[in-house]
């Protein structure tokens, strides 16, 4: 739950440009962890970045008015149930 809460909080402070949302940067993750005194490990940061990449792909495909099976297949390569379980166990 720690990683999900961090991602949701960071996502809520996301900035946007003319073409859409900016990704969450390592500096933002580091500042958030320091501010909240969270002991984030490398695996947590990787998972936040994977969640962000999936969210960005979804947001960009939604903005373009398309959600294709190819986008879902590509997304599943970055995060699957086995990886998710490994990161949270």
| Residue-level pLDDT, tens digit, the chain, 89 residues | 899 999 999 999 999 998 889 999 999 999 999 999 999 999 999 999 999 999 999 998 887 776 555 555 555 566 777 777 777 76
Q: How many domains does the chain have?
A: 1
Does the pTM of the predicted model rise above 0.85? Answer: no
Interatomic CA distance for residues 24 and 87, integer angstroms: 19
Per-residue DSSP letter, 21? E
**Domain around 38:** 2-88
Beta carbons within 8 Å of 84's beta carbon, 6+ residues apart: 47
Q: What is the pLDDT of residue 65?
A: 75
């Amino acid at each position: 739950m720690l990683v999900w809460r961090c991602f949701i909080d960071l996502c809520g402070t996301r900035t946007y440009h003319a073409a859409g949302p900016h990704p969450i940067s390592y500096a933002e993750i580091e500042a958030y962890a320091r501010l909240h005194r969270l002991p984030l490990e490398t695996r947590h940061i990787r998972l936040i970045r994977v969640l962000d990449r999936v969210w960005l792909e979804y947001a960009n495909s939604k903005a373009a008015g398309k959600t294709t099976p190819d986008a879902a297949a590509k997304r599943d390569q970055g995060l699957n149930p086995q990886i998710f379980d490994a990161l949270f166990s």
